[in-house]
């Protein structure tokens, strides 16, 4: 029997690029296809919240083009939901904004990175290892697309990943055994990242965009991380 996982929608793929591989339900659906996971969509950004943090077997909170510290009308309720999920030890995975929002909800700082946007394929060192991280790895490569970052680990949490190049000091963290996060995007495919970058030259800068686009032919650890996510939810459901 599979796991019913609530996909917490906090944003959408740029409308100019959504034709490449769909919006986040399609991206995460493809990433986790044939891994025993059924995604149930909750549009938090439209005020559509679950009735309870126990409505699903686990929760996956994805990316947004907004900042976690923006005065979004639904943000406070979303942070309350994430704190409830953690407090009852419901399984939770946060990606990009979902990583930042949980950090902020638990008292950590989220702010613009001093060196600007991180885009393209980046390497991340894994500094902690959990049972569901099988097949194991000390380093992963995934696509990054963010200007903001978590700058300190929330109280009671443990650092999971950091940028190998010295950027992104908190690229992932864990809270107990039932919550973990990543700043980069396992759901992103290179054609989507390339199309997004092509439309953001003025925003990010021509040289950084060119370097990022050139990096997209590097092998990515999407499948490895997808396996980790599926194993995490499966192990939590079986415990």
Position 41 scores a pLDDT of 98
Question: How many whole angstroms from its chain centre is CA 201?
Answer: 23
Residue 163's DSSP bridge partners are 124
Rg of the chain (C-alpha set): 16
Q: Using an 8 Å Cβ cutoff, are 128 and 159 in contact?
A: yes
Q: Using an 8 Å Cβ cutoff, are 10 and 78 in contact?
A: yes
- Give the total number of structural domains in the chain: 1
Residue positions annotated with a catalytic role: 96, 185, 187
Position 1 scores a pLDDT of 55
Write out the two tokens for 238: 């079986």
Residue with tokens 């097949």: 135
Position 238 scores a pLDDT of 54
Q: Using an 8 Å Cβ cutoff, are 167 and 125 in contact?
A: no
pLDDT in tens, 68-102: 999 999 999 999 999 999 999 999 999 999 999 99
Question: How many whole angstroms from its chain centre is CA 15?
Answer: 19
Q: What is the CATH number of the domain that holds 185?
A: 3.40.50.880
With residues binned 3-state (H G I as helix, E B as strand, rest as coil), the percentages for the chain, rounded to 5, are 30, 25, 40
Three-state DSSP state, 145: strand
Q: Whole-model pTM above 0.85?
A: yes
Residue with tokens 């809270």: 175
Position 135 scores a pLDDT of 85
The ranges of the chain with pLDDT < 70 are 1, 236-239
Pairing of strands 172-175, 179-182: antiparallel
**Helix H segments across the chain?**
18-21, 24-31, 75-87, 97-105, 190-198, 201-204, 206-215, 222-238
Phi, psi of 206 (to 5 degrees): -60, -45
Position 148 scores a pLDDT of 97
Phi, psi of 14 (to 5 degrees): -45, 125
Containing domain of residue 77, as a range? 3-238
């Amino acid at each position: 029997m599979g796991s019913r996982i609530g996909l917490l929608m906090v944003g959408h793929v740029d409308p100019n690029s959504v034709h490449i591989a769909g919006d986040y339900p399609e991206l995460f659906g493809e990433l986790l296809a044939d891994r025993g996971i059924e995604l149930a969509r909750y549009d938090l950004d439209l005020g559509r919240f679950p009735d309870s943090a126990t409505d699903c077997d686990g929760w996956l909170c994805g990316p947004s083009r907004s900042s976690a510290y923006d005065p979004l009308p639904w943000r406070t309720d979303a942070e309350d939901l994430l704190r409830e999920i953690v407090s009852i030890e419901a399984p939770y995975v946060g990606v990009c904004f979902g990583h930042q929002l949980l950090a902020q909800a638990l008292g950590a700082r989220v702010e613009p990175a001093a060196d600007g946007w991180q885009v393209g394929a980046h390497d991340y060192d894994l500094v902690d290892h959990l049972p569901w991280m099988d097949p194991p790895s000390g380093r992963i490569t995934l696509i990054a697309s963010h200007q903001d970052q978590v700058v300190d680990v929330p109280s009671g949490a443990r650092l999971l990943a950091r940028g190998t190049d010295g950027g992104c000091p908190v690229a992932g963290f864990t809270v107990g055994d039932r919550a973990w996060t990543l700043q980069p995007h396992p759901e992103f495919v290179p054609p989507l990242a390339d199309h997004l970058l092509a439309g953001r030259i003025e925003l990010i800068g021509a040289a950084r965009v060119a370097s990022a686009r050139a990096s997209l032919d590097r092998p990515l650890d999407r499948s490895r991380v997808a396996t980790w996510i599926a194993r995490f939810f499966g192990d939590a459901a079986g415990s």
